[in-house]
Structure 1
Amino acid sequence: MADFWSSEKIVAADGTVSVISAEDRPCTLLENVIAISTLFTWFGFVYVGPWLTLWVIITALLGSKAAITTLIITIGLSFVPPGNVWWTYRSLGLWDIWRKYFRVRLLTPPKDKFLKPDGHYLLAEFPHGVYPMGSWLGLPICGRPGTGIPKNLRGGIASVLFALPVIKHNYAWAGCMPAEYKRMLKHLREPKASLSVIPEGIKGIFLAQHPEREEVYLTRRKGFVKLAIQGGADIVPVYHLGQTQLLTFWGTEEISRKWRASVGLFWGAYGLPLPRKHQIITLVGPPIPVQQSDTPTQEQIDKLHTQFTAALRKLFDDNKHLLGPVWAKKQLIII
């Protein structure tokens, strides 16, 4: 990982100085092959998983011994606890290859507001997109020198993912936990604990149906603010430039909200379940101080939410030009 303080400095219109990591070298031919094959395997499994499961169930009912064995193993795995963070898994070289493939760069706050390695934060990340690749690739670099991202950071994700065998273990090993309010609050109240959340939820997936626009669902999302106040964690705005360009989604929002899972079709490069090769720049803003309270008033929540909204918009406007002239003209639409 690059030495961030020796990297390029970004000066905003108001004179604020941030630092962006140096762009890594391009992937070699072998690294490109590894990235494409593993990404296609991961997203392809998500794409065909429901149909494959249905086929296994039908063939098992028809007496196929192989299908019956597969079904028994799958059901058995669903009862295996997901476990906790597996540091060896989080340090696999595959994550670095994926970051090189998407040319991931990290912009950090000014040094006097740099996140503390043992700090107590709630990172509120936008946009969700069809798949939050920037958030996913950020977990393995937690605690690395120069990133400013706390090592003890955990990610809150859709609870439904922890009902799926194998998939739940993958997320748990990377440091994720179900995005259930009580569980997240319990984690935040632990000493020096930090949490990452994507407040948009399913709504953010459907906003990604229009990749020509940058839209985020935030106006009515205030639960994360209350969570931060009750947990006594400073709120950090995070925006992943380019994340909306990786995949396209089509589906029914009403059914998805009812089932609490995205129901629809997605595609990327060449119409396949493979993310497009588009650069991602993760913007990490200065933390917003939070005063802990077990019973915050609506006025306190609204005031902090307004501060956060303004900070997220500024973070986007100050740095959108980093992805080129087309992005420099984009406006952030907050719904």
Structure 2
Amino acid sequence: MADSYWSSETIKSSDGTESVVSKLPRKNSFLEDTIAVLTLLSWFGWVWLGPWLLLGILFAAIFWASKLAITTLVVVITLTFLPAGNIWWAYRSLPLWDVWRRYFSMRLVTPPKDKFLEPHGHYLLAEFPHTVYPMGSWLGLPLCGQKGTGLPQNLRGGIASIMFQLPIVKHNYAWAGCMPAEYKLMLAHLRQPGASLSVIPEGIAGIFLAEDLQDEVIFLSKRKGFVRLAIQAGADLVPVYHMGQSQLLTFWGAEKLSRRWRASIGIFWGAWGLPLPRKRPIISLVGAPIKVKQEDHPSQEQIERVHAEFVASIKLLFDRHKHLLGPEWAEKELRIV
């Protein structure tokens, strides 16, 4: 990312607060953009069509005794039980990540360099919005620990546990550094020396708030479990907001059923009506950490106090930097429900 993230400048907001902003990355070549489109379309297309293809294969295996279908099912079942593995650093270093980030003209905003997050610090990054797919969170994970980004090194991403029950999908996430967003697992990880974690507190609820054309809307007022997690682990809480992420995909589905099953039940689309994210810019805002005092059994009052501070911080983070995406975004408000 030498051309995108190591080259940055310091800017001041209207209230005089300084931030470090990575400069606009170079444009992809035609070949690079083609690769970005094909790989993104393949990934999201598999999510789109995969369940129907598996049903078709199952039908062919049972009713037609198709050898190809039976073999495919055996492979899928085998991959399902194959351990997801751990971070694969070679995977996180693939040039394809750069191609994707340039496709979305992704930029990074952090506090001033003297207030960068410590490389081996102890943080819980709470990232918003969830939207149909948290592209900013996904593309930002491999940047952690890279010189000049201001992001911690030993950071894992907590994602829905159901993702670790799906073949191929679970390996992809594990190689990138993700882990199941199960409270005990996340707490155990955060209690390791120098460990950090990123979570997306909205969960399924955030999918149904995406793509409000007037304002940005996030589900945060009742989400307090991540605050309890930070306090119990003694991890400083870092607000993160990915501007532009809400405009990439549109979702239509059954909200109540999705919440009950803890998985998105519905259909989504983007560019040209396909399962392809729209080519819109993303700016990832990383705020200053909120100091947290460790408590094994935090009181509700303590949780409420830290939560209120977090809400104020993420709203201020958004208001200070929303103009970076242009006049249209400068008029947007961040609504918290």
For the superposition of Structure 1 and Structure 2, which TM-score range results when normalised by the shorter chain? Answer: over 0.9
Q: Secondary structure at the match of 1:250?
A: strand
- State how 1:149-164 maps to structure 2 within 5 Å: 149-164=151-166
Number of aligned pairs? 335
Q: Cα deviations across residues 120-166 of structure 1 (Å, max 9, x unaligned)?
A: 00000000111000000011111100111111100000000000011
RMSD: 1.2
Amino acid at match of 1:116: E
- State how 1:52-71 maps to structure 2 within 5 Å: 52-62=53-63, 63-71=65-73
Q: Distance in 1 between matches of 2:308 and 2:106?
A: 29
Amino acid at match of 1:216: I
Q: Secondary structure at the match of 1:300?
A: helix
The answer (yes or no) to whether the contact 1:115–1:148 under 8 Å persists in 2 is yes
State the match for 1:185 in structure 2: 187
Q: Distance in 1 between matches of 2:187 and 2:9?
A: 37
Cα shift at 1:207: 0.4
Sort the Cα spacing of 1:75 and 1:5 in 2 relative to 1 into closer, same or farther, 3 A: closer
Q: Secondary structure at the match of 2:105?
A: coil
Q: Does 1:304 align with 2:310?
A: no
Sort the Cα spacing of 1:231 and 1:237 in 2 relative to 1 into closer, same or farther, 3 A: same
Q: Secondary structure at the match of 2:297?
A: coil
Amino acid at match of 1:42: W
- State how 1:204-219 maps to structure 2 within 5 Å: 204-219=206-221
Amino acid at match of 1:223: G
The answer (yes or no) to whether the contact 1:113–1:287 under 8 Å persists in 2 is no
Q: Cα deviations across residues 55-104 of structure 1 (Å, max 9, x unaligned)?
A: 11111111111111111111111111101100000000100000000000
State the match for 1:111 in structure 2: 113
- State how 1:1-335 maps to structure 2 within 5 Å: 1-2=1-2, 7-62=8-63, 63-335=65-337
Cα shift at 1:189: 0.2
Q: Distance in 2 between matches of 1:96 and 1:158?
A: 25
**Runs (5+) with no aligned partner, structure 2:** none
**Runs (5+) with no aligned partner, structure 1:** none
The answer (yes or no) to whether the contact 1:77–1:165 under 8 Å persists in 2 is yes
Amino acid at match of 1:151: Q
The answer (yes or no) to whether the contact 2:6–2:149 under 8 Å persists in 1 is no
Q: Cα deviations across residues 310-334 of structure 1 (Å, max 9, x unaligned)?
A: 0000000000000000000000010
Report the TM-score, using the length of structure 1 for normalisation. Answer: 0.98
Q: Equivalent pairs: percent with the same residue?
A: 66
Cα shift at 1:24: 1.1
Cα shift at 1:23: 1.1
Q: Secondary structure at the match of 2:208?
A: helix
Cα shift at 1:212: 4.0
Q: Distance in 1 between matches of 2:254 and 2:88?
A: 36
Amino acid at match of 2:29: T
The answer (yes or no) to whether the contact 1:211–1:248 under 8 Å persists in 2 is no
Q: Distance in 2 between matches of 1:82 and 1:13?
A: 47
Q: Secondary structure at the match of 1:240?
A: strand
Q: Cα deviations across residues 244-265 of structure 1 (Å, max 9, x unaligned)?
A: 0000000010110111100001
Cα shift at 1:43: 0.5
Q: Distance in 2 between matches of 1:213 and 1:319?
A: 15
The answer (yes or no) to whether the contact 1:2–1:22 under 8 Å persists in 2 is no
Q: Secondary structure at the match of 2:156?
A: strand
Q: Distance in 1 between matches of 2:56 and 2:213?
A: 33
The answer (yes or no) to whether the contact 2:211–2:247 under 8 Å persists in 1 is no
Q: Secondary structure at the match of 1:39?
A: helix
The answer (yes or no) to whether the contact 2:154–2:195 under 8 Å persists in 1 is yes
Q: Distance in 1 between matches of 2:208 and 2:91?
A: 31
Q: Distance in 1 between matches of 2:99 and 2:181?
A: 28
Sort the Cα spacing of 1:6 and 1:280 in 2 relative to 1 into closer, same or farther, 3 A: closer
The answer (yes or no) to whether the contact 1:256–1:263 under 8 Å persists in 2 is yes
Q: Distance in 2 between matches of 1:134 and 1:211?
A: 19
Q: Secondary structure at the match of 1:207?
A: coil
